[in-house]
Chain A
Amino acid sequence: MENTILLGHGSGGKLTQKLINSLFVKYFDNAVLRQQTDSAILHVDKENIAFTTDSYVIDPIFFPGGNIGKLAVCGTVNDLAVSGAIPKYISAAFIIEEGFLLKDLETIVSSMAEEAKRAGVSVVTGDTKVVPRGLCDKLFINTAGIGFIEERYKGISTGTDVRAGDKIIVNGTIADHGIAIMAARNFGNFKTDVVSDCASLNRLTRDILDSNCRINFMRDATRGGIAGIFCELAEQKNLGIEIEESMVPVKESVRGMCELLGFDPFYIANEGKIILVVHEGDANKVLARLQQNEYGKNSAIIGELVDKHPGKAVLRTGIGGSRIIDMLADEQLPRIC
C-alpha cells in the first residue's frame, strides 16, 4: 500500500525513521551519516566542525512567539549547540511563492537577523528562488549551519559516556510550540495564551559546558516531542530509561489543551527544549545553572538511565503505575470520543 509519501513520513516518528534508513542512509551511506546525530561531526585539518541543515515549512508562518524565519535560525543554531559546538555561520535559502507580500518577507528576514545577532552567528551565504503561485505554500526556508567543537565535547551527540545512574534533565515546559501552532491554525476553535518556546539555546548550552560538569548527552526535542529521544537513546545505549511523569514540566494551559484534544504532550513539538543526560554527581549543579538562565527557568530532573529493562524507556505514571514509552508511528490524531 505504501508507494507514495504520506504526511506521516514528515512527522519525526517511526515512519520518518523508516524512510531515512531505507532510503537516504541506504543510498548516501557513510560513517558520518550513519551516526544520524543532530549535526554531523567532521574532522577537517585539526578542527572539529559540526555541520547541520534543516528546512522550515511551518504553517502558519507567523505564530505566537515567532515566525518561520526566527524558527529557521533557532533550529539550526540549536542543532549545533546540542552537539557541543559553538555555532558560527549560517546559510539561508528561500523558496518563495509568487505573490508573497514583500513586507511579510521583510518582517521575516528582519527576525532572522535579530535572532542571528542574539545567537552570535552570521548569515554568510544564501539563495533565493521564486516559484509560480500555487507551487509552494507561501514560503519555505532552508538553513544550514557550521560550528566548532572542542575535542572533549565530541562524544556528546552520540552519548559515548552515557552510563546507568546518569540523570535526565529538561530545560523547561514541554509541548508549548506544538500547542501554540495548533491554536494558531484554529484547530478545534480553541483560544489559548500559549506561546511558542522558539529560542536559540547556544548560550545556555555554552554556559553549562563551561561549568565543567559531566554532560554526557544532549539532544533538542523538536517534532516528535521528547518521547522519541528516550526511545532512541535507550535502544542505542542498550540501557533502560525511567522517566517520572510527575516531574516533567507542562504548562497548565498546555495540559488542558492536550486533554481536550486527546494528545500526549510527550509527542508534541518543541523549539526551545533540550534533553540533557548528566552524570549523577553533577546533576544538581547543572540544574541550578540551567535555572539561572532565561531559557532554563523551569528546568527539572525528570528521570535517569538504569540497568533494568535495557533498550526500553519506561514511564512511572502520575498514579504510580508503569508503562512503556514508545515512538509514535506518525502524526497524533485527535480522539473520536
Chain B
Amino acid sequence: MKYLDEYRDREIAGRLAERISALTVEEITLMEVCGGHTWAIQKSGIQSLLPENISLLSGPGCPVCVTSKKYIDQAVAYSRLEDVIITTYGDLIRVPGSTSSLAVELSTGGDIRMVYSILDALQVARENPSKKVIFLGVGFETTSPGSAAGIVNAAKEKLRNFFLFSAHKIMPPAMTALVDEGVKIDGYIAPGHVSVITGSHIYDEIPQKYGIACVITGFEPSDILQSIYMLTKQIKEKKFSVEIQYSRAVSPGGNRKAQEILKEVFTLRDDWWRGLGTLSNSGLTLNEKYSSYDAERMIPITFEETKEESACICGEILKGLKKPSECKLFGTVCTSTNPVGACMVSHEGACSAYFRFNN
C-alpha cells in the first residue's frame, strides 16, 4: 500500500462525500480543533465537496496560535541575552510579539536556531557549554512527551546549560471551554496525534455531558471525510459518543509510556490561552524534581509590558465565533507577509489557511 494514494483516492473521496450528502440533517457546525486538520481541510478543498448544511469551523488547536503574546515577548527578551541560544520550532519564529519577533531578532544578530526536535536542541547545548540553551516548548500532547524525554535525557547527562521554556498545553480543556462559552458546536473533529498519546477517554465528557458528537480523526482527506460522515450520523441518530476514526494510529488507552513520562516531568497549571483567557489546569510546567531545567525559574528576566493590538480578533476566530473574513484587519493590515496575530502567522492558523486557500 502506498498509503498516500489510497487515502487521497478521488473515487473514495467522492463516495464518502455522497454518503455524507445522503444523510439529511439540519444545518450543523463541526469544529476541528487541531491545526493539522485545519491545514488538511483547506489544502484538499474538502469544504467544496460538502453539502451546504454542513459548516466547518476552525478552533483553537494550533499550538502556536493559542500561545500568548507575552510568551513571545519573553522569548524575544531571552534572545537578547548575550549568553543565551534560543532553539525553537520553525513556526514560532515569525509570530509577532508586542514590538518584535524572533525573526526580527534573528536578522539583527540574535542567536536563534530552528530545530526539528528537542534532540537537536540538546546537541546545541552539548556543543556550547558556556551558553544557556533555551528550548521553546510549544504544542499539546503531541510534542510535550518529546520535551519530557528531552528533559529526562538532560538530567541523566547532568547537562547544566539546557532549559525548557514551556508553553505546552493539554487537551481537552479548550474544547469544553468553548462549549461553556456558548459557541454552537454540533460535533468535534477531534485531534488525531494528541489522541495517539492520550487515548480516547479524555474526550468522554464531550458526548456525555454536552451531547456533542466526537470523532478522533486522521489527517488524510479520506480520514476527514469519513469522520464527517461518522459525526453527521451521530448527530442525525442523536447517539453521541467518542469514536475513533483514526484507528490505525489511535487506541483507546493511548501511549502509556508517553503518558508516564509526562507525569514524571510535568505538573498541571492554570494557563492563558489566546482568545480563551485563563483555563484552569490546562498548561504544563516542569515539576519540582526538574525545576532546575525550567527557564522561567532559573533565568529571571524583565521585559516590556505586553501590548495587545485592539483590532485583532484572533481570539474570536480561534473560538470559531468569527470567520477570518470578518476581521477588520484581515487581508488589509494583517496579511501573510505582515501578520498581526498568531492566526495569520502559523502555517496551521485559521487566518493563514483561509488567506492562502480562499483569498
Does residue B253 face the partner (Cβ distance < 8 Å to A)? no
Pick from B39-47, B126-134, B148-156 the stretch touching chain A.
B39-47
B8 at the interface (CB under 8 A from A): yes
A319 at the interface (CB under 8 A from B): yes
Which B residues touch A2, using CB under 8 A?
104, 338
User: Which of A3-11, A54-62, A112-120, A217-225 lies at the interface?
Assistant: A3-11
Q: Which residues of A contact B93 (CB under 8 A)?
A: 333
In the bound complex, what is the Cα–Cα distance between A333 and B244 (angstroms)? 30
CB pair A333 B114 closer than 8 Å: yes
Please report the C-alpha to C-alpha distance between residue A326 and residue B43 in the assembled complex, in whole angstroms: 11
The verdict on A188 contacting chain B, using a C-beta distance below 8 Å, is: yes
Q: Which residues of B contact A262 (CB under 8 A)?
A: 347
Q: Is the CB of B99 within 8 A of A318?
A: no
Given the complex, which residues of B lie within 8 Å of A255, measured CB to CB? 4
CB contact under 8 A between A333 and B42, given known A4-B104, A326-B355: no
A187 neighbours in B (Cβ, 8 Å): 116
- Supposing A1-B100, A324-B356, A326-B359 touch, asked if A317 and B45 sit within 8 A by C-beta, the answer is yes
* A246 CB within 8 Å of chain B: yes
A335 close to B44 (CB less than 8 A)? no
Q: A2-B338, A336-B89 are in contact. Are A326 and B10 (CB under 8 A)?
A: no
B98-120 vs A, Cβ < 8 Å mask (1 yes, 0 no): 01110110111000001010000
B221 A319 Cβ-Cβ under 8 A: yes
Partner of A323, one of B48, B91, B108: B48
Once the chains bind, are B90 and A333 in contact (CB under 8 Å)?
yes
> What 0/1 pattern do residues 78 to 99 of B give for CB contact below 8 A with A?
0000000000011101101001
Tell me the nearest residue of chain A to B193, going by C-beta: A337
Counting chain A residues whose Cβ lies within 8 A of the other chain, the interface size class is 35 or more
Q: A319-B13, A322-B45, A323-B48 are in contact. Are A336 and B91 (CB under 8 A)?
A: yes
Chain A residues near B193 (CB-CB < 8 A) = 337
Please name all residues of chain B whose beta carbon is closer than 8 Å to the beta carbon of A333 when the two chains form the complex.
90-91, 93-94, 114, 347
Residues of B within 8 A of A324 (CB): 356-359
Interface members, chain A 1-41 (any B CB < 8 Å): 1-2, 4-8, 14-15, 18
A320 CB contacts on chain B under 8 angstroms: 10, 13-14, 49
Chain B residues lying within 8 Å of A1, measured Cβ to Cβ, are: 96, 99-101, 104
Give the distance in Å from the alpha carbon of A262 to the alpha carbon of B348 in the complex.
11
- Chain A nearest CB from B22 CB (Å) reads 17
User: Which residue in B8, B35, B42, B103 is a CB contact (below 8 Å) of A319?
Assistant: B8
- Are B45 and A321 neighbours in the complex by a CB distance under 8 Å? yes
A334 at the B interface (CB under 8 A): yes
Please give, as numbers and ranges, the residues of chain A lying within 8 Å of B63 by CB-CB distance.
336-337
Chain B interface residue count, CB cutoff 8 Å, equals: 54
Cα separation A322 to B50 with both chains bound (whole Å): 12
B336 and A335 contacting across the interface, CB-CB below 8 Å: no
Is there an interface contact between A317 and B44, defined as CB atoms closer than 8 Å?
yes
B48 contact set on A, CB distance < 8 A: 321-323
Q: Is B74 an interface residue (CB 8 A)?
A: no
B337 at the interface (CB under 8 A from A): yes
- With contact pairs A317-B45, A320-B14 given, residues A188 and B142 touching in the complex (Cβ less than 8 Å): no
Chain A 248-289 against B: per-residue CB contact (8 Å), 1 yes, 0 no? Answer: 000000010001001010000000000000000000000000
* CA gap between A15 and B4 in the complex, in Å: 32
Minimum C-beta distance from B53 to chain A (A)? 18
For A330, give the chain B residue with the smallest CB separation.
B337
Known contacts A6-B104, A246-B10, A320-B49, A15 near B44 by CB under 8 Å? no
Please tell me if A305 contacts chain B, counting CB pairs below 8 Å. no
Q: Does B140 sit at the interface, judged by CB under 8 A?
A: yes
Is residue A198 contacting chain B, with contact meaning CB distance below 8 A?
no
Chain B residues 198 to 234 lying within 8 A of chain A, measured CB to CB, are: 221-222, 225
| Smallest Cβ-Cβ distance to B10: which chain A residue | A320
Chain A residues with CB under 8 A of B138: 336
Chain A residues 202-247 with CB under 8 Å of chain B are: 246
Known: A6-B107, A333-B91. A321 touches B46 (CB 8 A): yes
Is residue A315 contacting chain B, with contact meaning CB distance below 8 A?
yes
Contact residues in B for A14 (Cβ distance below 8 Å): 335-337
Does A195 sit at the interface, judged by CB under 8 A?
A: no
User: Is the C-beta of B36 less than 8 angstroms from some C-beta in chain A?
Assistant: yes
A sample of 23 cross-chain residue pairs with beta-carbon separation below 8 angstroms, ordered by A number, consists of A4-B104, A4-B107, A4-B108, A5-B107, A7-B106, A14-B336, A15-B337, A264-B43, A318-B10, A319-B9, A319-B222, A319-B225, A320-B10, A320-B14, A321-B47, A323-B357, A326-B336, A333-B93, A334-B89, A334-B116, A335-B36, A336-B89, A337-B193
Known: A259-B4, A323-B44, A326-B356. 9 other contacts (CB 8 A): A4-B108, A5-B107, A262-B347, A318-B8, A319-B49, A324-B359, A330-B337, A335-B91, A337-B143
